[in-house]
Amino acid sequence: RTKEALSERSEDNLRSPICCIMGHVDTGKTKLLDCIRGTNVQEGEAGGITQQIGATYFPAENIRERTRELKADAKLRVPGLLVIDTPGHESFTNLRSRGSGLCDIAILVVDIMHGLEPQTIESLNLLKMRNTEFIVALNKVDRLYGWKTCKNAPIVKAMKMQSKDVQMEFQSRLTQIITEFKEQGLNSELYYKNKEMGETYSIVPTSAISGEGIPDMLLLLVQWTQKTMVEKLMFTNEIQCTVLEVKVIEGLGTTIDVVLVNGVLHEGDQIVVCGMQGPIVTTIRALLTPHPMKELRIKGSYVHHKELKAAQGVKITAQGLEHAIAGTGLYVVGPDDDVEDIKEATMQDMKTRDILIYAS
């Protein structure tokens, strides 16, 4: 099965990269997500942005539209970008580690007025441990004294509009923050000056309030992932799926919210997930995504799917999920698979997860 799945892999069939937003409390993670979503999500399907389970999906078309001013002639080869909606509350250390574990790339948000803070360093360590690529959003540039708003403008254009004083304050704060990264053993540089991406981390100045630098951030995420992660982003039939949350939903019972990283899930698939008392073997009863219309979403109605293709955030209903454990993998039992082997693989995840939570 693996061979067959691998032979289907191709550079012309990529899945969406998965991105998470990390950083210290109050640096603007929630606001950044709101800002890149715009009002589109509230209004339904405008711009093609869709609210998924635990994630927001940005189609390539939307990203192309918003980065037009950057004149990036580079072709967008990925279908879009899936951004994980990490909770605003930073007490969920394990949630953050789960979020970063399944991500292809992260946005590490730093407040330009505060520099590196304790949870910035914590996030950094988590990213290093997981070998996750990331870019730095140097957020709240609009708080520089005297900043002139240039709504949603590319950062170089916005910076040219600023007075000498603002530019100097920006430069001195940037230099300070680059030094702070250096103290953590990391080289970093403004993204448009960065000639050694991969060795040196890219910094994108942003404002989540007025949108300066947001086009740059979106383009960098997509270009960087499709340039360096093609192999990882090739679509395959081999399921790669992580349980983000276990939730009781009225009328549905215990459900699991998963991020389908790669492969296709079908209604009726036999699955194995980690449980408190050992592996849970069950069958997918329903594959659900939120209703595209906000009014209907509030009433808790979902769209049912016969099958769903990665990358997506999905809610799964099935029997016996009461003791499922978040942060672990979901496996599908294929026609040629031995359930016992899969049960063993599933529980192996459990051990890894404990180590990661402990380490974070």
Other C-beta atoms closer than 10 Å to the C-beta of 197 total 17
The residue within the footprint of ligand GDP, chosen from 30, 94, 152, 270 (CB under 6 A), is: 30
Give the three-state DSSP class for 65: helix
Among 104, 122, 142, 269, binds ligand GDP (CB under 6 A): 142
Residue 40 has phi, psi (to 5 degrees) of: -55, -45
**Which of residues 158, 209, 220, 308 is near ligand GDP by CB under 6 A?**
209
Q: Is-contact 288 303, C-beta < 8 A? A: yes
Buried residues in 116-133 as b, exposed as e (16+ CB within 10 A): bbebbebbbebbeebebb
Q: Which of 56, 62, 67, 139 binds ligand GDP (CB under 6 A)?
A: 139
Q: Which lies closer to ligand GDP via its Cβ, residue 117 or residue 337?
A: 117
Tell me the one-letter amino acid at 305: H
Query: How far from the centroid of its chain's Cα atoms is residue 45's Cα?
Result: 20
Q: Which of 208, 220, 281, 310 binds ligand GDP (CB under 6 A)?
A: 208
Report the residue from 14, 16, 20, 29 that binds ligand GDP according to the rule CB under 6 A: 29
Strand 105-111 and strand 18-23: pairing? parallel
Reference 2, options 194, 240, 270; nearest CA is: 240
* Least distance from ligand GDP to the Cβ atom of residue 108, Å: 11
Contact 261, 310 (CB under 8 A): yes
| Of the residues 27, 226, 236, 289, which one makes contact with ligand GDP according to CB under 6 A | 27
The 79-118 site mask, x for binding ligand GDP (CB under 6 A), equals: ---------x------------------------------
H/E run at residue 221: helix 214-228
CB of 359 to ligand GDP, least distance (A): 22
Nearer to ligand GDP, 30 or 94 (CB): 30
Q: Which CB, 157 or 323, lies closer to ligand GDP?
A: 157
Binding site for ligand GDP (CB under 6 A): 25-31, 88, 139-140, 142-143, 207-209
